Chain A
Amino acid sequence: MRVRIVALAGLTLALLGAVYGQQRRRLFILEDEFVPLPPDADEKTEFVFARLRYPTFGRGYWGWRGAWTVDYPKADRQFLQGLRRLTRIHARSMEEVVDLDSDRIFDYPWIYAVEVGHWDLDDRQAARLREYLLRGGFLMTDDFHGTFEWDVFLASMQRVFPDRPIVELENADPIFHVLYDLDERFQVPGIRYFYTGRTYEQDGIEPRWRGIYDDQGRLMVAICHNMDLGDAWEWADLPQYPERWASLAYRIGINYIIYAMTH
């Protein structure tokens, strides 16, 4: 009996190892569908799409399936295809997962955090994120909706910058013009739109483009509230998903990255 248990456990570990090996750095998370590893996933490039892994409110990194993993990795890789095709940025085809507990984050001056309405940074992580941003790092947040999730987001963000206001971004801000002129913006819904028929989630009816500036007037944190750009990237290849939403999501993402690489 004991031999069988040990054999079964070994077989399971071997299977998991094989899958992990095939995926290499891809974390073994079953989001929506299997995403093949790009052939040039290991290319050394200038830009790497760094996805922030953070502790979920009350549950640690992996609670609630790990809120930071939403849309991962398809959204990242599909967006990167667009970034590589539409700009001169030398970008890697595969994302990188980083967290605030490691110094590796300082090698990635642009990070993307999704579902930050569920994040829960402790004081040390908040201090690290503050240091990261003041040194010149850039944070884009996305896919959180309504008042409740805003309050959760704010609870951690105020530990990062207790004294810096979160402001509405003006249309004239360079971030909306660095490549594409994005004066005409609208709410980009997630895939849930096809189930609910609504472009918003919870009470987040109005899309908000907000941010936090440094002392020199440069944006450090770009906050996309009441929209789901990640889903638009992820489902851009779905025939039913409207092109205008996907297109705006790509343009916003690209503008934010180029802004982060120029300011």
Chain B
Amino acid sequence: MFEFFFEHSPAVFRKGEFILLGSWPIWILIVLIFAAGGILALRLRRTAAAAAPGVTMRRAAGIWALDTAVVAVLLLMLWHPAIRIAALKPQQNIIAVVVDDSRSMGIQEGSATRLEQAAGLLGSGLLDDLQNRFQVRLYRLGTELERIQSLEDLSASDHATHIGAALDQIVAESASLPIGAVVLVSDGADNTGGLPPETIAALRSRRLPVHTIGVGRPQFDHDVEITDVQTPDRALAGSRLTAQVTLRQRGFDGRKARLTVRSEGRVLATREVELAEGGKPQVETLLFHAGSPGAKRLEISAGPLEGEENPGNNTLARLVNIVDAHPRILYMEGEPRWEFKFIRRAIDEDPTVELVSILRTTQNKIYRQGIHTPEELKEGFPGRVDEMFSYDGLIIGSVEAAYFTPVQQELIREFVDRRGGGLLFLGGRASLADGGYGASALAEVLPVRLPSSKQTFHRDRAGVRLTPAGRDSMITRLVDDAEANARRWEELPQLADYQEVGPPKPGATVLAELIAPGGRELPLLVTQHYGRGRVALFATGGSWRWQMTQPLEDKTHEIFWQQLLRWLVTGAPGRVSLSVPRQMLFDEERVRLTATVRDTAYAPVADARVSARILGPNGLQAAVELAPDPARIGIYETEWTVPGQGSYIAEVTAYRAGKEAGRGVVTFERMDGVAENFHAEQNRELLERLASATGGSYYTPETAARLSDEISFSEAGVTVRETKDLWNMPILFLLLLALKSGEWYLRRKWGVV
């Protein structure tokens, strides 16, 4: 229909360049259109005034506009409009037809599999059409791109789909071959997490269009899929962990599914959840105990429910490295107070975290606790970077900002930003706004804005309530069940005091609110990331009442403080750390090991020698050297080929001047044949995006017949510039007819003859 009116296919208009072939310049066309409009206006004024004196200006203007439009269209046709477009030269170009041959193409869709649909589509004329005009190269796509001779070589057996890598290979081939276009027949279920921008950029720079034909249903009828699980890479032994599970379902609206976290077959946490509306991502949090030190493999599963079409996407695995570290936290307190005592007692019961404290007992004396040597902190709060950075966390109690010298304030900021330490601010009569922190260098680090007024600390009782974010936080989890936990917080004894703070800064999370006298709600527990470290604020000095006014058996106070302080220091990196982009490698053979090396002042080190020792399954041992990244000081990297499935542990050691500067450990696991179970619905969005970004088009099996005509228009390969006339489009003649008819009708109706 479109071509009946416009003479050419939509692709011609989309890809071509509009031009006017008339020999006279375009400005004459514009002048003539304006002149015609003026003459017609004068004529209409004279004739209409005589013939129909009562005609309104509005009606006269309508008739004038139609008249002028007719003249403008006629003049435009005289200037010879046309479209110039690049087209592939027949028989001189190659069309790369890439067919997805991964396992997800074997999914049954009605009476045929996706692959059978794709092969049927290509074999029923489309491939012949292309072959009549171009050379066609057929490829199968899986983890790699492989050329095949016929559609019969396809088997839907590859265990992953790497679309980006395949396109990279075609781009490379196009350097020596006249590849004019790519046809990708796929369900779009890529296992690498998307299309690399550099691949898209390479296709665009070669002007190589990728036409995509999507096969497979955009969604299953009945399925529950775990799309992602977020767990920390590292945790302290004995601490509580969270697994944030993202799941999505089709066809099970309102049904319940059981989420479970297992390790070595043992259930660590389980919970029944009500499934959200179909297709919408749903995030649920499970809490469990980290247990003893070592690499722990977690299996997180949902369901499966009866009638699921794809039960293979109900379980995901993650690795967590449980470390036997004993981070040290320095607590600076400006006055003896009960909160200090009871925090100390709570942490005394935690074998993981060490609390070192400085307490100002009198104006000129300090009292130190938890020190390792008589010399430690002898001069008071650290003033040197190596002394300060030897701690993993810092608590600032009721001590005014001015107690710290400007150098110490900057040191505290650097402690969080550069060292990656955790910093906790407590409420108190010399804390926060009352302590002058709003005007100090530490204001930047705080997760909230502070009121400009003083007297924000009140020795009045205040209740506590969790926010929605606090309900999912492992810091505030006192009992396993989320609802019971929220109720538990509301039933806690009131705090002995509270401090007003301003609104949270962007990026900060309020986990708990306090309910001040009069029902006013204020932030109580707020967390945020700052630089490499973490910051928290607890706007009270009165949580000790949770300990003193509840039965001895109640461990609320101890659990809360242990969890808060563990969270504070869990992320604090050592001087040498090792990381991988992903700990679970699904069908990936290469892993990038990245080590960060810093000196005692946590400044990046450029002159270290860094080597890694890798232990794998079946007694595998390997040693690799990491090379410094010239663009990033202190970063050392290498790529290593993972020889097979299984769990691996890599330990990196950095040396400076022949001496060991530190060690870091990371664990990872390679799993093959699992990835194709996930994201198995047709990823139409990815296919459309790929086509649109490269100048191609997306087709369904129903519209794919158009491909053979439209594929010619490409600027890649061997092309010829074609010019296609537009003046003879039927739509223009129909337009002229419609304009004149409209004018005639209106003149008759309004009596303007």
Binding site for B on A (CB under 8 A): 44-47, 86-90, 103, 106-107, 109, 131, 134-137, 178-179, 216, 218, 257-258, 260-263
Contact = CB atoms under 8 A, between A and B. Distances in A.
Interface in B605-640: none
A136 B336 contact: no
B547 A45 contact: no
A46 B338 contact: yes
Contacts of A216: 345, 348
A178 B359 CA distance: 10
B549 A106 contact: yes
Nearest to A132: B548
A107 B549 CA distance: 7
A88 B334 contact: yes
18 contacts: A46-B337, A47-B336, A89-B336, A89-B337, A107-B545, A107-B549, A109-B341, A109-B544, A136-B341, A136-B548, A178-B361, A178-B367, A179-B361, A179-B365, A216-B345, A261-B337, A262-B341, A262-B367
Given A87-B336, A90-B335, A136 B547 contact: yes
A260 B544 CA distance: 13
A94 to B, nearest CB: 15
Q: What 3 A-B pairs come out closest when comparing CB atoms?
A: A44-B459, A261-B336, A88-B335
A35 B594 CA distance: 73
A136 B549 contact: no
B437 interface: no
B548 A107 contact: yes
Contacts, number: 83
Contacts of A263: 341, 344-345
B338 A179 contact: no
A88 B363 contact: yes
B362 interface: yes
A30 B460 CA distance: 33
Interface of A is mostly: loop
Given A88-B335, A89-B335, A260 B361 contact: no
Interface in B691-719: none
A86 B548 contact: no
Given A109-B338, A179-B365, A179-B367, A131 B544 contact: no
A261 B363 contact: no
Contacts of B360: 88
B429 interface: yes
Given A87-B336, A109-B338, A258-B361, 11 more contacts: A46-B459, A88-B334, A89-B337, A107-B496, A135-B552, A136-B341, A178-B361, A179-B362, A216-B348, A261-B336, A263-B345
A135 B362 contact: no
B741 interface: no
A45 to B, nearest CB: 7
Contacts of B547: 135-136
Contacts of B341: 109, 136, 260-263
B341 to A, nearest CB: 5
Nearest to B429: A90
A49 to B, nearest CB: 14
Nearest to A45: B459
A87 B361 CA distance: 6
Residue picked from B341, B344, B365, B429, most chain A C-beta under 10 Å: B341
Given A88-B363, A179-B367, A262 B549 contact: no
A258 B541 CA distance: 17
B150 interface: no
Contacts of B362: 86-88, 179
Contacts of A89: 335-337
Contacts of B552: 131, 134-135
A46 B549 contact: no
B498 interface: no
Nearest to A218: B345
A106 B344 contact: no
Interface in B27-68: none
Given A135-B552, A136-B341, A178-B361, A262 B335 contact: no
Interface of B is mostly: loop
A257 B359 CA distance: 14
Contact of A262 (B369, B429, B460, B545): B369
Instruction: Assign chain B's interface to a size class.
Output: 20 to 34
B492 to A, nearest CB: 14
Nearest to A87: B362
Residue picked from A45, A257, A263, most chain B C-beta under 10 Å: A263
B342 interface: yes
Nearest to B365: A179
B340 interface: yes
A89 B336 CA distance: 6
A131 B496 CA distance: 20
A262 B342 contact: no
B459 A262 contact: no
A46 B334 CA distance: 13
A262 B359 contact: yes
B367 to A, nearest CB: 6
Interface string B442-462: 000000000000000001100
Contact of A88 (B338, B344, B361): B361
Interface string B330-364: 00001111101110110010000000000111110
Given A107-B549, A178-B361, A136 B342 contact: yes
Contact of A258 (B336, B429, B548): B336
A260 B367 CA distance: 13
Contacts of A109: 338, 341, 544, 548
Interface string B184-216: 000000000000000000000000000000000
Contacts of A107: 496, 545, 548-549
B548 A262 contact: no
B334 to A, nearest CB: 7
Nearest to A43: B459
Contacts of A88: 334-336, 360-363
A150 B234 CA distance: 56
Nearest to A88: B335
Contacts of B541: 46
Contacts of B336: 46-47, 87-89, 257-258, 261-262
B238 to A, nearest CB: 18
B501 to A, nearest CB: 20
Contacts of B337: 46-47, 89-90, 261
B548 A135 contact: yes
A257 B362 CA distance: 13
Contacts of B345: 136, 216, 218, 263
A106 B548 contact: yes
Nearest to B428: A46
Nearest to A103: B549
A90 B348 CA distance: 25
Contacts of A258: 336, 361, 367
A88 B552 CA distance: 30
B112 to A, nearest CB: 72
B434 to A, nearest CB: 12
Interface in B410-440: 429
Nearest to B341: A261
Interface string B358-387: 011111010101000000000000000000
Interface in B544-588: 544-545, 547-552
Contacts of A135: 547-548, 550, 552
Contacts of A86: 362
A262 B360 CA distance: 11
Contacts of B365: 179
Contacts of A47: 336-337
Interface in B518-558: 541, 544-545, 547-552
Nearest to A133: B552
B32 to A, nearest CB: 90
Contacts of A262: 336, 340-341, 344, 359, 367, 369
Nearest to A217: B348
Nearest to A262: B341
Residue picked from B338, B344, B359, B544, most chain A C-beta under 10 Å: B338
